[in-house]
């Protein structure tokens, strides 16, 4: 599978090979759905907590004698039926994380990449000419030429600090290293922009 390699001026400067096993997978919405649920479950704080009757501050003394007061018999003021008492079946801190096997996670990432490729929302960009400090407004204008608005830019492991810093200040544009690429971030952006360095590293990692 061939794809155009473009520069930041939106000019074609060559071609790159995209592995069919990574960028031409059948689109399985059920896999994407499960991957997003898994990622969001891992992000949940799980810090909810309410006191039960054993945790509420107060005396455990019987509030009044059993008979002769005209009141219903009570053994504690900390029961869930009493004002100021503990909560029955109270929520407690917990982890919402669950396991997905590695094979399934890789399948999900390949499916998300294939979805962007099939939609025409995958751009392979040559950033080798970028060196040193670059200005945010310059990068923003170049991304506009690419027709990129809400985009996720995937960079290689070799850091391009000037480029990364400039892009990170642009609204609706996020930068992520290729080894941190994930299904949720791919799906929540309109366009996936992959640098030529990141493409080679990504394909070597997933093939």
Q: Please, which residues bridge with residue 6 across strands?
A: 12, 125
Q: Is the pTM of this model over 0.85?
A: no
Average pLDDT over residues 8-14: 86
Every domain of the chain with CATH number 3.40.1370.10 lies at 2-45+96-206
Instruction: Express each pLDDT in 96-112 by its tens digit.
Output: 999 999 999 999 999 99
Distance set, CA 194 to CA 10, 22, 46, 163 (Å): 14, 14, 34, 13
Task: Work out the percent of the chain whose per-residue pLDDT is above 70.
Answer: 96
Fold of 2-45+96-206: Ribosomal Protein L4; Chain: A; (3.40.1370)
Residue 7 pLDDT class (50, 70, 90 cuts): confident
Q: How many CA atoms lie within 13 A of 45 on its CB side?
A: 3
Average pLDDT over residues 178-199: 94
Residue 185 pLDDT class (50, 70, 90 cuts): very high
| DSSP structure class, residue 203 | H
Instruction: Express each pLDDT in 20-57 by its tens digit.
Output: 999 999 999 999 999 999 999 999 999 999 999 999 99
Q: Could you report how far apart the first and last alpha carbons of the chain are, in Å?
A: 14
Rg (CA), the chain: 27
Helix then strand count (H, E) for the chain reads: 7, 6
Which pLDDT belongs to residue 132? 56
Both tokens of 80, joined, read 């869930």
- Ranges of H-type helices in the chain: 20-23, 29-43, 102-119, 136-145, 161-168, 183-187, 196-206
Res 163 pLDDT > 70: yes
């Amino acid at each position: 599978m061939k794809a155009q390699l473009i520069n930041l001026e939106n000019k074609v400067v060559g071609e790159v090979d995209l592995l069919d096993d990574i960028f031409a997978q059948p689109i399985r919405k059920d896999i994407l759905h499960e991957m997003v649920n898994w990622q969001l479950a891992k992000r949940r704080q799980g810090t909810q907590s309410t006191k039960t009757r054993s945790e509420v501050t107060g005396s455990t003394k019987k509030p009044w004698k059993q008979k002769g007061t005209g009141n219903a018999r009570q053994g504690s003021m900390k029961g869930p039926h009493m004002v100021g008492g503990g909560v029955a079946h109270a929520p407690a801190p917990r982890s919402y994380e669950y396991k997905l096997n590695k094979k399934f996670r890789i399948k999900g990432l390949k499916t998300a990449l294939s979805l962007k490729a099939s939609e025409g929302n995958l751009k392979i960009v040559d950033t080798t000419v970028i060196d040193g400090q670059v200005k945010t407004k310059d990068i923003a204008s170049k991304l506009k030429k690419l027709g990129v608005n809400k985009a996720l830019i995937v960079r290689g492991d070799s850091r391009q600090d000037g480029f990364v810093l400039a892009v990170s200040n642009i609204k609706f544009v996020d930068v992520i290293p290729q080894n941190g690429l994930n299904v949720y971030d791919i799906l929540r952006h309109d366009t996936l922009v992959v640098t030529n360095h990141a493409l080679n590293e990504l394909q070597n990692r997933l093939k």
